[in-house]
Amino acid sequence: MNNPQASPELASLRVQIDNIDQQLLTLLNQRALVAERVGEVKKREGTPFFRPDRVAQVIDKIQTANPGPLKGAHVAAIWREIMSACRSLEAPQRVAYLGPAGTFSELAALQFFGTSIEHVPCANFDEVFHATTAGSADFGVVPVENNTEGVVTRTLDLFLNSPLHIIGETSFLVRHHLLRLSNSLDNIEVVLAHPQALAQCQGWLSQHLPKAERRAVSSNAEGARLAAGNHNWAGIASERAGAEFGLHVVAHAIQDDAFNRTRFAVVCLPQTQPRRQGGLRRHTAAVWQAGLPAG
């Protein structure tokens, strides 16, 4: 099929966009070259390669200077990716999180660091702490609380005997979707997900799949992976996990709380980053003092 010929006006605008793209590419590579020099200086001086406060300052400055029409949130997302790509030239960042691909922990890691990271998926929260402490990962990302189910007690328990410090945090609205090989709710015998997700969706499951077994697994993405191997199983996970394992989204946003939000902590060894004062660290200390039950 022949593509319709563009009008002279549209063709002229496309030429302008192509020219601007070339200018942007040149400037981005200039920025990358400076970032490489920054990395060399940091290596000589022994200073941290990643400083979340510096990232926040740069993005805030760019958003403040933004005249539009681009929205501030979109500008922030663009600059986070630019900084992530440039940082990867300074030093590759290995980030541990609860795997496999498609978990909300992975999404939290990408939201905080950008996509230019080395992925270190782990089987459970204990492995995230171990990988970060042992140095096979530079940073770890772990959930600490959900507005529906409260604190993630296993994460807080691990902090009690860990040398890791919290150097950042991120949060987002969590949307749980029911994923399956066939695009139907019929004949679902087992629903697989992380225990937190099963708890956050118990109302919907009781109403729509009362006879289905609820089976806890190590992560939502692992539940999706298992569901991809059985036509009578379904998983609760993100759309990203569904795409990763070739599953249909047979029910969207089945969490009982429409504003289901989870907070994640970013952790590392104190030699890698200065200890962050206040914020989430004070929050976790207060939680421990309140006498939470063990995980």
Computed from CA positions of residues 37, 38, 43, 49, in that sequence, does the dihedral angle turn out positive or negative? Answer: negative
264 is known as an active-site residue:
yes
Whether the link from the prior residue into 270 is cis, omega within 30° of 0, is: no
Active-site annotation holder among 129, 155, 264, 284: 264
Active-site annotation holder among 103, 132, 170, 262: 262
262 is known as an active-site residue:
yes
Label the pairing between strands 139-146 and 94-98: parallel
Separation of first and last alpha carbons in the chain: 61
The rounded Cα 201 to chain-centroid distance in angstroms is 21
Pair 185, 204: CB distance under 8 Å: no
DSSP H helices, 66-144, are 72-90, 104-113, 125-134
Looking at the annotation, which residues are catalytic?
Answer: 262, 264
